[in-house]
Amino acid sequence: MDDLENTTGTDPEDTQQPQAEAKKNRKKKKGNTALKVVATLLVLCIAYSAVQTVYIFRLNSGLAGITSYLGGRKNDTQSSSDSGNGDDTDSTDSSADDSELADPWFSLEEAASVTDPDKDTLSTTEIVDMVSPATLSVYVMQKSGSSSTKIAAGTGFIITADGYIVTNQHVIAYAMEDPDTYYVTVMLPDSEDPVKAEIVGGDEQTDIAVLKVDHDGDLPCVTLGDSSKLQAGELVVAIGNALGTLDDTVTVGVVSALDREIENDGYSLDVIQTDAAINTGNSGGPLINSFGEVIGITNAKIVTSTSESLGFAIPIDTVKTVIESLINYGKVVNRPYLGISVTTVADGAYFGVDAGVYVGAVVSNGPGDEAGLEVGDKIVSIDGVEINESDDIIDVRDSHAVGDKLTFDIVRDGDDKELTLTIGDSGDYEDATYTTDDNADSSNDNSADSSDNNEGQDNEPDSTQDTQGVDNNPFIHK
């Protein structure tokens, strides 16, 4: 019986051996599967990398990506659709188009430029090539024994081939006030050394001055444009001696706004606003339109140090007659002049004082003085025009000519009075002296000592003269 059991029973060792082999086979299959997965993933990664590399290459070469914004770019799908029967010629043309980078669709220069059927619209580089040779750096030098020191700098531009130069009056204020101590030099295009310039004349009201240099042969000069045709958003280029050390600096922008009213040394000016950078040292330089014409004279003096992308220029139309008068007579003539300064008193500024425009200063022996106007008079109307702000007086004055008579309705010490003023010529009052309510005299000329200058920069403006209780409005000269 025992022999039968040993014959028909299964040996434990024989049973364990197949199980171990099966387990080993299963482990081997799992290892093979994992290896296959890793290999597959590796192949996919390589394929993906290859596709990405090709796509990036096509993007860089302009053969793929968003092409609807590129001017002249043909739509590949439409080209294929239009070919229809797979014409070889169409395929060749499409390939030729795709092999070249399409031109950019947008250009700020083109977008902001204006057109005129009678004029060529220029690129920025063409504008610079045209105007830069006639743009100069202007320096004010102080004599010191046998040597000289640069104390102020600005920009100017040549307007005639025989050497007349336009700049800002405040740039050369020192030399105008004291020519024995200070003088002006400019850097001509063909000169390595500064050349001394003669001061022909200056006008504080418009902040314009004219210089003259002697030169053998004709000098390059600018073309003056028409600032009345400017539009907001129009392209403009400024060239100047930025910071007094970086001559021929070019900045580009647009006309941000027109007819911005600013106060400059007690005078009201309507100026062009631009986002082209107008830095210290740019004063007196040209602001140029798309046709290469000077349409403004940049002025860094009226830009505050805290402003950004905010520059101003005096419209060329405003000063054309001033420039002509300075060249012809050395001063501005036939410009209506009232000989008074006014200030606007705000409502409630003083107890018992009505809001309005009051005489703040009178030029001794000037038109206002001779008419009987006095400091403290409230100007109610002029020639029937109600006066609510200083601009109202300017509008009335500028609508008349030298020699015209104006009727002033005023209030003095509570009494109504009527006075007649004969408009004078500003050219006769260049050295006029204003008398204020404290009987202190102040010169109407721009004194060099009233400017805080830094070497290599424009003559900086003096702080604005404010009168307590008058809504912080400075005296406005008339």
State which amino acid sits at residue 415.
Answer: D
Exactly one of 98, 207, 247, 377 is catalytic; name it: 207
Exactly one of 283, 290, 341, 426 is catalytic; name it: 283
- Count the Cβ atoms, other than its own, within 10 Å of residue 347: 10
- Quick check: 182 and 151 in contact, CB under 8 A? yes
DSSP letter for 100, please: S
- Quick check: 158 and 222 in contact, CB under 8 A? yes
- Quick check: 305 and 278 in contact, CB under 8 A? no
Q: DSSP alpha helices (H): ranges in 9-87?
A: 12-60, 76-83
Exactly one of 113, 132, 137, 170 is catalytic; name it: 170
442 included as an active-site residue: no
3-state DSSP call for residue 75? coil
Residue 257 vs residues 114, 224, 236, 340: alpha-carbon distances, Å: 16, 20, 12, 30
The token duo for 23 is 């387990």
Torsion (CA) 276, 113, 272, 202 in degrees, nearest 10:
90
298-318 exposure pattern, b = at least 16 Cβ within 10 A, e = fewer: bbbbbbeeeeeebbbbbbbbb
400 included as an active-site residue: no
Phi-psi region of 348 (alpha: psi -120 to 50; beta: other; left: phi over 0): left
Q: DSSP alpha helices (H): ranges in 61-149?
A: 76-83, 88-98, 108-112, 124-131
207 included as an active-site residue: yes
- Quick check: 325 and 333 in contact, CB under 8 A? yes
Residue 128 neighbours by CB under 8 Å, 6+ apart: 237, 239, 250
The token duo for 165 is 């130069």
Residue 29 neighbours by CB under 8 Å, 6+ apart: none
Catalytic residues: 170, 207, 283
